[in-house]
Structure 1
Amino acid sequence: MSDGYRYDLDGLRGLAIALVVIFHLWLGRVSGGVDVFLVLSGFFFTGMLLRRSGDGGPAVREVLSRTARRLLPALVVVLAATVAMTVIVRPFTQWSAAADQVLTSLLYVQNWELARTAADYQAADASVSPMQHLWSMSVQGQFYLLILALVGVLAAGCRRIGRPTALQAVITMVVVVAGGASLLYATAVSHRHQGWAYYDTAARLWEPLAGALLACMIGRISLPRGVRAVLATTGLAVIAGCGLMVDGAHLFPGPAALIPVGAAVALILAGAGADSRARSAPTATRLLASRPLVELGALAYALYLWHWPVLIFYLGWRERPAVGLVGGLIVLTVSLILARLTHVWVETPLRARSTPASAQHEQSRHRRARIVVVAVTAVGITMIVAVGSWQWYLRHNPETASRVGQLDPKIYPGAAKLLDGAFTPHAKMRPSLLEAPGDLPPSSFDGCISDMSTRAVIACTYGDPHAVRTLAVVGSSHTEHWLTALDAIGKSRGIRIVSYLKMGCPLSLGEPMLGDQPYPDCRDWSVEVLDRLRDDRPDWVLSTATRPNPDGPGDITPDDYIQVWTKYADFGLPFLGIRDTPWLHRDGVPYRAIDCLADGGDADTCGMPRDAVLAADNPAAAAAADFPDVHLIDLSDAVCDVTICRVVEGNILIYHDSHHLSATYVRSLAPALDRQIGAATRWW
C-alpha cells in the first residue's frame, strides 16, 4: 500500500544533479538539470503552502523558518569553505569580488549581479567565480518569497470576501497568467540579450510557476496507466538527452526551455496518485524511485553547492581550462564526500521528523540540532564580519578611493621607455594593484558608454567642445580606453572628440556575437550610430581595426569590420583604424595582470610572448589597401618590445584588467598617438 510519498521525484532530483555535475565536469554545456530543479522547487514549495494554508493562509513565520533551516546552513558552510580557500590559494586582488559574491549569495540576489555582467556560465575555467553557480539558488529564493506573499495575500482576500475555499482556484488562475507573462518576456529578452535573460528572475519565473501550477492541479488529475507510461518514458528520455540535443546556454530560458520543463512536468504527472515503487507504476517511474537515484536525490542540494567550487579550485590548481577524465573523477569524488558530510552533519539534524521517536532519541536530535545551529551561526557571523571588514578596508583605502592622476614622466616614463629608451628609475608601480581596477577612462565615470543591456546610443563630448574639427570615437571598450589620451590631444590641439561607445560592440553590420552568444543589440546600435555619423559628418572616425585571432595566435581584421569601412567610404568619411592591444590569456583562459603580479609574478612572467598575441605585420594593412580613406594607427611597439608584451613598462602598469589598458599607461601613450593622428590627418 502506498504511503503517498513521491520517491520518484527524489530520484528525479538525483538524475538532475547527476546531469548537472557530468555536464559541468566533462561536456561544458548546460544539461537542463537546473530547469528540472526549478520545476520541482515550484511544485514542492507551492504544494507545501497549499497544504498549510487551510482557511487562514500559510503561517508565514513557520514557513520562512522551515525554509531557512533547510537551505541556509549548508549554504553558509559551503560559502565559508569557499572564502577560506579563496584567501589561501587566490591573490588578494580577487578577494573583493569573492566578498561581493558571498554577500549577494547570502541575500539571494546573485543572479542579478551575473545578469549585469552577462557571465559565461556554461564554460567553466579557472577565471570563473567558484560561487557563480549559486545564481539558481537566488532565483529559487526569490520565487519562494514571491509565491509565499502571493498565497498569503490571496488567502487573506478570499477570507475577506467569505470564500476561503476558492483560494486554490484563484491561485491557479494567477499562476497561469504570471507564468504565461514570464514565458513571453523570456522569449523576447532572450532574443535581445541572451546573457541577461539567462539569469533574469522575471525570465526564469515561468519555470517554477510550471511546478506551482502542477501543485494546484495534481490532486484533480487522474491519468490512464498507458498515458502515464508514455509520459514517464518520454520525460525520462528527454531529460537524459536534453543537454546533448539543445544548446541551453544560448537558448534558455526562452521557448527551448519548454523541453526540460515539459519533461519534468510529464514525470511529475506520470507518478501522480500511484505508488512509485509498485509494479503497476511505469517502468521509468520505478527507475527514478530506485534506491541509488533516491539516495543521490537526498544529496542533490549539498552536491550542487559543492561541485562547482571544487571544480573551479581544481582548475586553478592545475592551471588548465578543462579537468579531463581523471581530474573530473577526482572532482566528483571530493564533491560527493563533502556533500555526504554536509548532508549528515548539517542538513539532517535540522530537518523536522514526522515519524514517532522515543523521548531520549528526540532529546538527542534536538541537542544535535542546537549544536549545528550554534556552529553554523558562528561560522556565518565570522564569514560576514571577515568579508565586510575587507570591503570596508578597500572602501577606506586611499589607493582605491581616488584616481591616479598625473605622474612625473621622469619617474614614470611609461611608453617612453619602449619608444625612446627613457631612463626608468626604481619607483613604486602605478597604478598599484589596488588602484588598477579603478584606473579607467573618463567615459566610465561619466556614464558615456552603453552597457551590454542598454540599447540606447549615448554620445558624449571630450577634448575641446568648441572646436571646429571633430573626431568621432566609435566602438567597444577597446576604443574607449584610448579616450584618456584622445581627450588630452583634443584639448591641446583644438579638436572636438565625440564618443559613441557600447560594451562588447565594435561596429558590426553582420551577426555580432558576445563571446559565443548572439548579440543582436550590437547590430541595432551599430546601424543607428552609422546613421548618426552619416548625418553629423565628423571630420574623421576612429575605431579599432583588429581583434585577437579566435583560432590561433596573433590578431586579425574580421570581415564585419571591413563591411563598416565600406559604409564609411559610401558616406565619404575618412577613418582612423587603430590596432587592438594584446589580450592576456593562458591557453585561452583570461587572467588579470594584477592577479598574476599579486600571486608572485613579475612584469615578464605575467606578460605574453609578442608573437602569441600580435601578428608579425598589422593584419589591417591588406584590407585597408582597398580603401583610400582608411588610415591605420599602430602603437604595438609602445606596448610590446620585439619579443614580449610585458604588463609593466616605465614603472606604469599597462593593464587595468586582462585586456584593457590602464588610463595611466594610455596617458603616457598620448605623445605617440598624437604623432600618428597628426601624420594621418595632416592636421598638424
Structure 2
Amino acid sequence: MTRWSLRLAPGAAPKTPLQRPPKAKGYRLDLDGLRGFAIALVVVFHVWFGRVSGGVDVFLVLSGFFFTGLLLRRAESAEGVGVVHTARRTARRLLPAMVVVLAAVVVATVLLRPYTQWPDIAAQTLASLLYYQNWHLALSWSDYLAADPSVSPLQHLWSMSIQGQFYLAVLLLVALVAWCCRRWGSPTALRPVLAVTLTVLTVASFAYAEHGVATHQGWNYYDSFARTWELLVGGLIALAAPWISLPRAVRAVLAALGFVAIAACGWLIDGANAFPGPAALLPVGAAVALILAGNNVDADAHPMPNRLLATAPMVRLGELAYALYLWHWPILIFYLGERRTPTAGFVGGSAIILLALALAYLTNRFVEERLRLRPKALETGGPAATSTRRTGVVVLALGTVVLTAAFSAHIVTRVYPPQPVGYLNPAVYPGAEALVRGVSGPHAPMRPSLWEAPADAAYPTRDGCIADWDTRDVITCGYGDSSAERTIAVVGSSHAEHWVPALDVLAREHHFRIATYLKMGCPLTVAAEPTYKGEAIPDCRDWSAEVIDRLGAERPDWVFTTGTRPRDDTGDETPTDYLDVWTQLSKRHLNVIAIRDTPWLRRDGVRYRGTDCLAQRGDRISCGMPRAAALDQTNPETEAAASFSNVFPVDLTNAVCEPQVCPITEGNILIYHDEHHLTASYSRSLAPELGRQLQSILGWW
C-alpha cells in the first residue's frame, strides 16, 4: 500500500485514494528536480555559509517559465485565460503553506521573542500575507548578507512577494493581449505580441537593475521591477519553447554548464551585493540552459544532468521545495536567537535542515496535497473531498486569525505610535551626570520607556533633516540659536547626528547656531569606493564631496563629526579614510571637533537592541557591554589628531561607560534607542559634560 492511499478498517467499503493530480503529457520532471536543487542550495548556503546561493534566482526563472506557459496554454484554448479561475487556483497553491508558516512564526515570536519586537513582526506578517514584504524590506533596507539573531524570521519572504506580484501582473497582461487578439480577429498574433512586450519589459527591467546595483543596491535587491527580468526570461523561454529544438551535443553542453554554474554560483559571486544586476545572468542563464537542454525531446533523450534532476529523490525534493523554503529561514533565525550565536555550526545546522525537511513534508502532505484536489473531485464527494474541505476550513480559519492579529497589532501601533520624551527634571533624571559628577537621583521609572524608545531619536531624524539611503541631495537644517553669528556644522552619519540634542542645549544657552549636513550610513569620506555593511554606496562618495566643497564655501566656525568607528571584532579605531577627510578639511582651513564614537551594542559580532534585552528581563548591566570589548583603552583618535593642527579630539566615554562596563541605562535614562544610537533624552543629559570639554576648545563661554 502506497503512502498516498488511505488505510481501510476491517469490513469497510473502499474509499477514494488521496492522490496527486496526474502529470500532463510531456511534463518536465527534471525541472521539478531543478527547483528542488535550487532551493536546497538556498537552504545550505543560508544555514552554513551566510551567503546568497543564486538558487532563488533559478527559482524565479522557473516560476516565470511555468506560470507563463500555463497562461499561454489557457489563452490558446477554447476556455481562455480565466483570470478569476487562474487567480483562485494560484492562491490555493501558494497561500495555505504560507498561512501555516506565518501562524507558526507568530506563535514562536510571542513565546520566544521580546515584546519589543512584536510590532515589527506583526507588520512583516501582514506584508508577507498580502505579498508586499519586499517593499516593506526595501523601505527599511534590511541587510540580507547573512542570517543573525537580529534579522527578521520573515525576511526571506521577499521573493514570494515578488513572485505573487509577477503572477498577478502577467496574468492581467496575457488576459488583456488575448482579449485584444480575439476582439480584432487575430488569435495567432498572441505569441508575437507577447514576445515583443515581454522582451521590451525584460530589457527595461535589466537596465534598471544594472543601474540599481551601482546606485542603491540595498533597495535594488528587493525592488520588484529590478527582479522582474529574471521571471520574464522564464516567460520568454515558455513563449519560444515550441520552436526550440537543439542538437544533442549542444543540449549536453548546455546541461553540463548549467548544472555546474548553479552549483558554483554561491561561491563565485557575492549575490547580496550583485543580484539582480548583470551578475545574476549566471544563475539565470544556467537555469535557461537546463530548460533548453531538455526542451522538445523525450525524457530518455535528456542529457545526464537533466536525467539526474529527474530522479525520484530530486523530484520529491522539488515537490517539497516551496514548503522547505518557507520553513528553513524562520527555524534558522529562531535557533540563532535562542542560542545567541551568529552561526549555526555543523551540528546545529544539520538539525535545522532536518527539522525544516520534516515540517516541509508535513506541510506538503497534509496541507498542499489535500488542497490540490480538483473541483470535479470535490463535487463527487467521498473521504478525499471531505478531507480537502476540512483542511481548507482549518487553513482559512488560521489565515483569518493571523491576518486579524497582524492587522490589529499594526493598526494599534499606527494609531498609538510611540512618542519622543520631552523635558526631564535633571534632579530626578540626571542621566550622564550620574557618571561624571556622581549626581544621584531618586528611584524613578526609566525614560524613555521601552515603548517610547524607538521614537526618542535625535531631532534631524524626526524632522526629516537627514538624507536617507536613496537620497543623494544634501539636506541642511538649523538648530540652536538661529540668529547667532557663530556656527558649528554637524556633519556625517547618524553617529554625528545623535549629538545634536546635546549641542542644541549648549547652542541655546551660549548663543551659537547648528547647521546639519547628515546622511544615513555615511560618515564623510573621500574614498573612491566607500562601503556600508560590505555594500558599495557611491551616493555617499558624491554626497561627501559636495558637503566638503560646501563647507569650504560656507565656512562654519567649526565642523563637528565622528573621529572613530568600532572594529569588526572588539575595540574601536580611527580609519585611514577619516584622516583623508581631515586633510581635505585642513586644506580648506576648517577647524574640526572629532568626537569619539559611542559603543555599539554587540555580542560575538552581532548587534542587539538594548530594549529587546531589557524586555527579556535583562538589567542595565547584563544588557550593556564590557568596556574593554566596546572600546580601546585609549582614544585612538588622539594620536591620529596630533598630526593635524586643525583637529581637536573629544572623548565622552566616561559619560557613557562605567570603568568596567558600558551599561544600557544611567541616571534613570535609557542610553540607546536601538543597537547603537543615543536616545535624545540621554544626549541632552550629556550637554553639561560636552560643554565642559568644548569650553577649552571653543573659548565661547
TM-score over 0.5 for the pair: yes
- Matching of residue 526 in structure 1 with residue 526 in structure 2: no
Instruction: Choose which of 460, 483, 493 in structure 1 pairs with 2:500.
Output: 483
3-state DSSP of counterpart to 1:205: helix
Alignment partner, residue 309 of structure 1: 330
1:9-20 map, 5 Å: 9-20=31-42
Q: Which range moves more in the overlay, 245-254 or 382-391?
A: 382-391
1:386 deviation in Å? 2.1
The residue that corresponds to 2:648 in the other structure is: 631
Partner of 2:340: 319
Matched with 1:599 is: 616
Partner of 1:369: 388
Listed as ranges, the matches of 1:611-622 within 5 Å are 611-622=628-639
Partners of 1:275 and 1:285 lie apart in 2 by: 11
AA paired with 2:535?
Q
Matches of 1:500 and 1:209, distance apart in 2: 42
3-state SS of 2:477 partner: strand
The answer to whether structure 1 residue 351 and structure 2 residue 372 are counterparts is yes
Name the aligned partner's letter for residue 643 of structure 1.
Q
CA distance in 2, matches of 1:153, 1:202: 20
Residue matched to 2:625: 608
Cα deviation, residue 160, structure 1: 3.1
Structure 1 partner of 2:157: 134
Unaligned 5+ runs, structure 2: 1-22
Q: Deviations over 1:75-111 (max 9, x none)?
A: 0100000010000011100101100100111111111
CA contact (8 A) 2:131 2:161 kept: yes
Alignment of 1:21-40 (within 5 A): 21-40=43-62
**Deviations for 1:348-371, whole angstroms, at most 9, x for unmatched residues?**
0111449x97997x5333222211
**Residue identity opposite 2:352 in structure 1:** V
For 1:682 and 1:567, locate their aligned partners in 2 and report how far apart those are by CA, in whole Å: 25
Give the secondary structure class of the aligned counterpart of 2:488. strand
Residues 107-130 of structure 1 deviation map (CA, whole Å, 9 limit, x = unaligned): 111111222222221310111110
- Structure 1 distance, partners of 2:408, 2:232, is 39
CA distance in structure 1 between the partners assigned to 2:418 and 2:678 by the alignment:
20
Contact kept, 8 Å, 1:555 with 1:614, in 2: the verdict is yes
Cα 1:183/1:359, change in 2 over 3 Å: closer
2:410 maps to 1:388 = no
Matches within 5 A, 1:401-420: 401-420=418-437
Q: Does 1:7 align with 2:26?
A: no
1:559 is aligned to 2:581: no
Query: What is the distance in 2 between the residues matched to 1:94 and 1:416?
Result: 31
Q: Distance in 2 between matches of 1:621 and 1:301?
A: 55
Residue 544 of structure 1 pairs with residue 567 of structure 2: no
Secondary structure of the residue that 2:369 maps to in structure 1? helix
1:299 is paired with a residue of what secondary structure?
A: helix
Counterparts of 2:304 and 2:336 in 1: how far apart (Å)? 39
Are positions 1:212 and 2:252 aligned together? no
Tell me if 1:508 matches 2:525: yes
Q: What is the deviation of 1:389?
A: 3.0
Aligned counterparts of 1:415 and 1:45: Cα–Cα separation in 2: 61
Alignment deviations for residues 188-227 of structure 1 (CA, whole Å, 9 cap, x no partner): 1101122111111111110000000001110111111111
| The one of 588, 611, 631 aligned to 1:571 | 588
SS at match of 2:382: helix
**2:90 aligned with 1:72:** no
Tell me the residue number matched to 1:42. 64
Report the number of matched residues. 677
1:163 to 178, 186, 190: 186
Q: C-alpha separation between the residues in 1 aligned to 2:408 and 2:141?
A: 28
State the 1:150 CA deviation.
Answer: 1.2
- Identify which of 589, 596, 617 aligns with 2:606: 589
Provide the rounded CA distance (Å) in 2 between the counterparts of 1:346 and 1:244: 35
- Deviation, structure 1 residue 374: 0.9
User: Separation in 1 of the partners of 2:415 and 2:407?
Assistant: 12
Do 1:395 and 1:401's aligned partners in 2 also have CA atoms closer than 8 Å?
no
Cα deviation digits, residues 21-65 of structure 1 (max 9, x gap): 111111111111000000001001111111111377511100110
SS in structure 2 of the partner of residue 264 of structure 1: helix
3-state SS of 1:169 partner: helix
> Residue 490 of structure 2: SS of its match in structure 1?
strand
Equivalent AA in structure 2 for residue 8 of structure 1: D
Structure 2 CA distance for aligned equivalents of residues 57 and 44 of structure 1: 17
Distance 2:297 2:255 in 1: 13
- The whole-number CA distance in structure 2 between the counterparts of 1:94 and 1:344 is 32
Q: Is the 8 A contact 1:2 1:274 kept in 2?
A: no
Offset of residue 472 of structure 1: 0.6
Q: In the superposition, relative to structure 1, how do residues 5 and 537 fare at CA in structure 2: closer, same or farther (>3 Å)?
A: same
Question: Using the alignment, how far apart are the partners of 1:2 and 1:102 within structure 2?
Answer: 35
Name the aligned partner's letter for residue 10 of structure 1. D
Residue 237 (str. 1) matches residue 267 (str. 2): no
1:677 is paired with a residue whose SS is helix
Q: Secondary structure at the match of 2:691?
A: helix
1:579 touches 1:632 (CA, 8 Å); kept in 2?
yes
**Aligned AA for 1:265?**
V
Give the residue type in structure 1 aligned to 2:138: A
Equivalent residue, structure 1, for 2:357:
336
Q: 1:643 Cα deviation (Å)?
A: 0.8
Shift of 1:586: 0.7
DSSP-derived class of the 2:420 partner:
coil
Deviations 1:461-500 (A, max 9, x none): 1111221111111000001111111222222221111101
Structure 1, residues 492-543: CA drift from partner, whole Å, max 9, x if none?
A: 2211111010000000111211111111111111001111111111111000
Secondary structure of the residue that 1:486 maps to in structure 2?
A: helix
Deviates most, 263-272 or 152-161 = 152-161
Using the size of structure 2 for normalisation, the TM-score is: 0.94
Kindly indicate whether the alpha-carbon contact (under 8 Å) linking 2:419 and 2:456 is maintained by their aligned counterparts in 1: no
1:161 positional shift: 2.7
Partner of 1:649: 666
CA shift for structure 1 position 652: 0.4
Q: CA 1:538 to 1:357, structure 2 compared with 1: closer, same or farther past 3 Å?
A: closer
Whole-angstrom CA distance in 2 between matches of 1:349 and 1:2 = 19
State whether residues 57 and 151 of structure 1, in contact with CA within 8 Å, keep that contact through their aligned partners in structure 2: no
Q: Distance in 1 between matches of 2:371 and 2:581?
A: 62
Number of the residue aligned with 2:15: none
2:122 aligned with 1:107, yes or no? no
The aligned counterpart of 2:19 is none
Asked if residue 173 in structure 1 is aligned to residue 190 in structure 2, the reply is no
Larger CA deviation: 363-372 vs 618-627: 363-372
The equivalences for 1:135-284 within 5 A come to: 135-276=158-299, 278=300, 280-284=301-305
C-alpha RMSD of the superposition: 1.6
Name the counterpart of 2:4.
Answer: none
Per the alignment, residue 84 of structure 2 pairs with: 61
**1:439/1:656 contact within 8 Å kept:** yes
Q: More displaced, 114-123 or 73-82?
A: 114-123
Q: What is the CA deviation profile of residues 424-449 of structure 1, one whole-angstrom value per residue up to 9, with x for unaligned ones? A: 21110000000001101111121101
Which secondary structure does the structure 1 equivalent of 2:152 belong to? coil
In the TM superposition, structure 1's runs of 4+ consecutive aligned residues that sit over 3 Å from their partners are 356-360, 391-397
Letter of the structure 1 residue corresponding to residue 356 of structure 2: S
Q: Distance in 1 between matches of 2:145 and 2:543?
A: 27
